[in-house]
């Protein structure tokens, strides 16, 4: 039986650092099956969606965060959107990209993403959008998000993101872990965190696949470090699309384009984020033409 995905938030080392842990196995598997993705595309999107959930966990109300990886690699762009409710969605432009494994036996996400930039946009409650952009460090995503947090928000962080894809392409484990020492944390605290993360024998995706519950995963990641759990939330794949919203997209095409669709007799729109298909018949298109 599959376990619901969860996101936990807490403190560690007597309040000298905060952490966020997420298990996203079901979310990444749903994204894989909706988009029909190859293993390397699944790993890239899965890591970015997991990172979006972590960064969205400090948002409130109807706020959301959009992460865009625009690299020159064959994936041709990866996008993930997370919100304060713990919902996430996303897509890669080229879901079928296949690349040889790295010498380490891992999926080559860095090459699939390529060189380029990471854009982070936060939509706040008042409707304002704040965006920041940094060049990609490696395209491996966790490193790129850490670089963004440090250079754009001056927050030093350590982050693990991982997706384990089985030979039959299904997702066996996916998760993410963020640690941020609080301002003024003594040097030995930072050293203790680095030592603990450095000695983990397996990646977070393997640890997630092996752990029966969040407690087990968390205690494995923390090792001897003291910690405290403050919040436990459920998280899931959820798209915000609807036929009504996509009507708006059609209206924005303009009268001429819509007239062409009417002469075709029907139109179909596919949502990028979830691959859901929406059909529009002639009567509906005529109504849209009048609104345009
Ligand atoms: Zn959708």
> Which residues, 6 or more positions from 121, have their beta carbon under 8 angstroms from its beta carbon?
65, 66, 68, 129, 130, 131
Q: Which residue has the higher pLDDT, 250 or 25?
A: 25
Q: Please determine, for residue 156, whether its predicted confidence score (pLDDT) is greater than 80.
A: yes
User: Alpha helices of the chain — where are they, by DSSP H?
Assistant: 25-35, 39-56, 109-113, 142-153, 187-198, 204-210, 214-222, 243-251, 255-264, 282-291
Residue 133 contacts residue 153 (beta carbons within 8 Å): no
Residue 139 contacts residue 128 (beta carbons within 8 Å): no
**CA 234 vs CA 53, 222, 278: distances in Å:** 11, 21, 29
CA of 49 to the centre of ligand 1 (A): 15
Q: State mean pLDDT over 282-289.
A: 94
CA of 273 to the centre of ligand 1 (A): 5
CA of 292 to the centre of ligand 1 (A): 23
Residue 115 contacts residue 134 (beta carbons within 8 Å): no
Q: Which long-range contacts (CB under 8 A, 24 or more apart) does 220-227 make?
A: 221/21, 221/160, 221/177, 221/196, 222/12, 222/196, 223/196, 223/199, 224/196, 225/12, 225/13, 225/192, 225/193, 225/196, 226/12, 226/13, 226/14, 227/10, 227/11, 227/12, 227/13, 227/19
Strand order in the sheet with 87-92: 129-135, 116-123, 64-71, 78-83, 87-92, 236-237
How far apart are the C-alpha atoms of 121 and 102, rounded to whole Å? 31
CA of 166 to the centre of ligand 1 (A): 26
The pLDDT mean for the chain works out to 95
- The full set of domains in the chain, from first to last, is 6-237 (3.55.30.10), 243-291 (3.90.1280.10)
How far apart are the C-alpha atoms of 54 and 204, rounded to whole Å? 14
Q: State mean pLDDT over 43-68.
A: 97
How far apart are the C-alpha atoms of 261 and 281, rounded to whole Å? 9
How far apart are the C-alpha atoms of 146 and 149, rounded to whole Å? 5
Q: Which residue in 36, 67, 37 sits closest to 50, CA to CA?
A: 67
Query: How does pLDDT run across 95-151, given as a tens digit for each residue?
Result: 999 999 999 999 999 999 999 999 999 999 888 999 999 999 999 999 999 999 999
Please provide residue 131's backbone torsions phi and psi, each rounded to the nearest 5 degrees: -120, 145
Query: How does pLDDT run across 191-226, given as a tens digit for each residue?
Result: 999 999 999 988 999 999 999 999 999 999 999 999
Q: State mean pLDDT over 7-26.
A: 97
Q: Please determine, for residue 2, whether its predicted confidence score (pLDDT) is greater than 80.
A: no
Give the confidence band of 233 by pLDDT, cuts at 50, 70, 90: very high
CA of 83 to the centre of ligand 1 (A): 15
CA of 275 to the centre of ligand 1 (A): 6
Q: Please determine, for residue 94, whether its predicted confidence score (pLDDT) is greater than 80.
A: yes
CA of 281 to the centre of ligand 1 (A): 20
Residue 212 contacts residue 23 (beta carbons within 8 Å): no
CA of 247 to the centre of ligand 1 (A): 13
Q: Which residue has the tokens 């850490």?
A: 146
Query: Of all residues in the chain, what percent carry a pLDDT higher than 70?
Result: 99
Give the confidence band of 73 by pLDDT, cuts at 50, 70, 90: very high
CA of 35 to the centre of ligand 1 (A): 11
Q: Which residue in 47, 10, 56 sits closest to 25, CA to CA?
A: 47
Q: Please determine, for residue 1, whether its predicted confidence score (pLDDT) is greater than 50.
A: no
Chain Cα centroid distance, residue 151: 20
CA of 243 to the centre of ligand 1 (A): 10
How far apart are the C-alpha atoms of 87 and 191, rounded to whole Å? 34
Q: Please determine, for residue 47, whether its predicted confidence score (pLDDT) is greater than 80.
A: yes
Give the confidence band of 26 by pLDDT, cuts at 50, 70, 90: very high
Q: What radius of gyration do the chain's Cα atoms show?
A: 21
CA of 245 to the centre of ligand 1 (A): 10
Q: What is the pLDDT of residue 185?
A: 92
CA of 82 to the centre of ligand 1 (A): 13
CA of 277 to the centre of ligand 1 (A): 9
CA of 115 to the centre of ligand 1 (A): 28
Largest CA distance in the chain: 70
Q: What is the pLDDT of residue 3?
A: 73
CA of 230 to the centre of ligand 1 (A): 32
CA of 66 to the centre of ligand 1 (A): 15
CA of 145 to the centre of ligand 1 (A): 25
How far apart are the C-alpha atoms of 176 and 221, rounded to whole Å? 11
Q: What is the pLDDT of residue 194?
A: 94
How far apart are the C-alpha atoms of 107 and 114, rounded to whole Å? 14
């Amino acid at each position: 039986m599959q376990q619901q995905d969860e996101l936990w938030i807490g403190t560690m080392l007597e309040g000298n650092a905060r952490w966020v842990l997420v298990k996203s196995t079901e979310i990444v598997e749903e994204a894989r099956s909706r988009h029909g993705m190859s293993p390397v595309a699944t790993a890239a999107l899965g890591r970015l969606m997991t990172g979006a959930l972590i960064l969205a966990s400090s948002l409130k109300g109807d706020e959301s965060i959009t992460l865009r990886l625009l690299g020159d690699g064959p994936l041709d762009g990866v996008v993930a959107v997370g919100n304060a409710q713990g919902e996430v969605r996303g897509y890669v432009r080229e879901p079928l990209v296949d690349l040889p494994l790295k010498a380490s036996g891992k999926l080559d996400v860095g090459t699939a993403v390529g060189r380029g930039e990471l854009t982070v946009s936060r939509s706040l409650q008042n409707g304002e959008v704040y965006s920041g952009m940094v060049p990609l460090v490696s395209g491996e995503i966790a490193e790129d998000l850490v670089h963004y947090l440090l250079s754009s928000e001056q927050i030093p962080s350590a982050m693990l993101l991982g997706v384990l894809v089985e030979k039959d392409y299904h997702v066996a484990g996916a998760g993410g872990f963020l640690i941020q020492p609080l301002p003024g944390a003594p040097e030995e605290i930072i050293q203790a965190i680095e030592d603990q993360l450095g000695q983990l024998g397996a990646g977070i995706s393997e640890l997630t696949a092996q752990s029966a519950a969040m407690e087990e995963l968390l205690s494995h990641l923390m090792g001897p470090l003291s910690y405290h759990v403050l919040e436990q939330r459920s998280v899931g794949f959820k798209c915000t699309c609807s036929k009504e919203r996509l009507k708006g997209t059609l209206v924005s095409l303009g009268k001429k384009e819509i007239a062409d669709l009417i002469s075709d007799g029907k139109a179909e729109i596919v949502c990028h984020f979830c691959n859901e298909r929406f059909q529009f018949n002639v009567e509906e298109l005529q109504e849209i033409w009048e609104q345009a």
